[in-house]
Amino acid sequence: MNGTAPELVGIDWLVIGCYFALIAAIVVWSSRRVADTTDYFLAGRNLGWFVVGASLFASNIGSEHIVGLAGNGATSGMAMAHYELHAWIMILLAWVFVPFYYRAGVFTMPEFLEHRFGPNVRWMLSIFSLVAYVFTKVSVTVFAGALVFRTLLPDTFGSPDNAFWVGAFLTVALTGIYTVFGGLRAVVYTEVAQTVLLLLGSVLITYFGLQAIGGWNELRQMAMENREAFALWRPLSDPEFPWLGILIASPVIGIWYWCTDQYIVQRTLAARDLTNARRGAIWGGFLKVWPVLIFLVPGMIGWALHQKGLMVIPLREGATTINGDMVFPLLVAHLLPVGLRGLVVASLLSALMSSLASLFNSCATLFTVDVYEKLRPGRPEQELLRVGRMATVVVVFFGLLWIPVMHNMAGGGLYRYLQGVQSYLAPPIAAIFLLGLCSKRINESGAMWGLVIGFALGMSKLVIEAIHGSAPFAEGSLLQTYAAFNFLYYSGVLLLLSSLIIVLVSLGTAAPDIKRISGLTFATLTAEDRRQVRESWSRLDVVATCVVLGLVAGFYLYFSFWLDG
């Protein structure tokens, strides 16, 4: 094996073509059922738990996950597994957050914050969320998908660089078409098919990869010889992933992403009732456990093949370390037989398209419901649909512009970049939702100032890092120290500062009207609210929850000691 990928052949292209034919059929079926904004943005609020859970999983596991997580597996072993064991946070979504959201009957997370705090907070979160999508979901997802094109089709469009940009724009265009026509219903039902492909393709890579290196015990033995680089828990002296930083930042990012982000939560809002919304989140949590084995492990397999001389992974430009983001595409190209290679390429494309489709619909929902409709109330349904689609195009355009800058910041790998940026954007939003649900004293002024100042501090870190990545500051200077400050610890500092601002400003201003926030905090739940929640779950939900939490605990227990001999 080497760093050059073999070309796809006829059977591979046939498999890929069949996949796109299936997607087209689902889109045509979905587009015929879009009559209004409820159909377009929330699939008519009629999704069952299986579809909700599969959509949650597929939206999360995009191409940046497959490519970036495998890359981190190759370069840092199990360090990023903490983020992939967030299934326990999806249980929080199911039992703690979803009842409040579903009972409020909202379309978006900013809309929920308007119910809880007021219109100013809604405006702020809407704008900040759209900005965050540019720096995270759009740029990273498109970049990862384009890497797949450059690796698997290097000469198809004249040069690898041409293949990169053709792949970026082609996938954006194709995904945009099916999202625009089909709305959220097209997104979630295509994601059910994509979930199957994602799991199947990644399992195949893991299976053939383990066969190629001599089995799990051989991989484990090689990792044991490189314990410091592949351990789940790292010492406090580790510059990238100290265990204390992981314990601080991972839950913060997880709560923001899984419990408060429109991109994810929108699926639960589309469920036909609270029972299906909760079960969908629990089912999604069960699916979320497995990426450790089928995305991280292939990355370590790629590293092992490279160490054995069975596959050549190119080095990062200007560095002496392997380019981890090339690992998964190379594994696809070199390990899989004809036909299966096409199936896994289809799964990579499906991952890219499912993430982008979810993003497109979420952007359309946020801008249309939380911005445009507030500025111009009472507009016709068709106008609102058109505006939402145009807003999505603008967000994607700026995401594409950010790709070259992001490339300079992603020296540690796509997934490392993604978690770093999310560490700067997540804390103030997570703080607002947690404090807003847990305390009836938190008011609009506190929430607004906490969000604005927290977001400004997070963006300042991101901008300074971007500048430092392209034109490094002088060693030892204040800006260099600020840029180099560990992203995990910065997340904790930002959460603490945001929370202090929210609490202090709220205590220094008038308390909110208790009647207005009835049912929107734990302290203001009525007896009827509690009765409805209790009637929405059964013993089955409790058992399923215990299974998910047991799996998370089992994975943590095994991988905490897997290198101890």
Q: What is the DSSP string of 11-30?
A: HHHHHHHHHHHHHHHHHHHH
Q: What pLDDT digit, counting tens, does each position of 474-496 carry?
A: 998 999 999 999 999 999 999 99
Kindly report the CATH number that applies to the domain delimited by 10-419: 1.20.1730.10
Q: What pLDDT digit, counting tens, does each position of 513-526 carry?
A: 999 999 999 999 99
Instruction: Please give the pLDDT value at position 9.
Output: 78
For 477, the enclosing helix (H) or strand (E) is none
> Which residue bears the tokens 């890219």?
352
> 120-134, 317-331, 380-394 — which one is most confidently predicted on average?
120-134
Q: What percent of the chain has pLDDT over 70?
A: 88
Distances (CA, A) of 374 to 122, 364, 537: 10, 14, 36
* Both structure tokens of 64: 């940046």
Residue 74, pLDDT > 80, answer yes
> When comparing pLDDT for 193 and 180, which is higher?
193
The widest CA-to-CA distance across the chain, in whole angstroms, is 69
From CA 339, how far away is CA 240, in angstroms rounded? 39
Q: Where residue 42 falls among pLDDT bands split at 50, 70, 90?
A: low
> When comparing pLDDT for 163 and 104, which is higher?
104
Mean pLDDT in residue range 190-212: 81
From CA 336, how far away is CA 475, in angstroms rounded? 46
* Both structure tokens of 378: 């009472």
Q: Where residue 3 falls among pLDDT bands split at 50, 70, 90?
A: very low
